[in-house]
Amino acid sequence: MASCRTGVMNGDAMKNTTQRDERNKTRSFRAAFAARDRAAATQGFAIQILRDTDLGIATLIVEDEEGHYEPVNYASSLGEGFEMAKEDLRNRQRNLEADKDPGLCPWEYKVWARGLEGKMVVAATWNVRDL
């Protein structure tokens, strides 16, 4: 202890101080990046959901104006879900023009994916005017 009081530190004390400083830096870096990541995260998800983000197994749903819905297909990304929604709308329009039953009259399409705590959350919504 006498060497610490005089300003001279032995090798072990210096090593412990350096390690503590590095841990504090790492902790502050982690906190800064975690705050940035939370700010960029899509609501309901731990990350930001972009067009090509792998959603695992997400479900594309079509809804009518009154809130009735039907599952369309599974999608692994928003890009894939968007393309499936466009194709589904085209197929329903073709059926309508051919005097066949188009099923539900689409109002909007939604991609549901597993979000925080395993809950299903809407990752994206497209109105039929946007397709």
pLDDT digits (tens), the chain, 131 positions: 444 444 444 555 555 555 656 655 556 556 555 555 555 788 899 899 999 999 999 999 999 999 999 999 999 999 999 999 999 999 999 999 999 998 999 999 999 999 998 999 999 999 999 88
Q: 88 and 31, same structural domain?
A: no
Note whether 109 and 62 are within 8 A (CB): yes
Domain span at residue 15 reads: 2-40
Asked if residue 46 is part of any domain, the answer here is no
Q: Tokens 């066949």 — which residue?
A: 100
**Would you tell me how many other CB atoms lie within 10 Å of the CB of residue 124?**
22
Q: 124 and 72, same structural domain?
A: yes
What span, in angstroms and rounded, lies between the C-alpha atoms of 93 and 105?
Answer: 9
What span, in angstroms and rounded, lies between the C-alpha atoms of 85 and 125?
Answer: 10
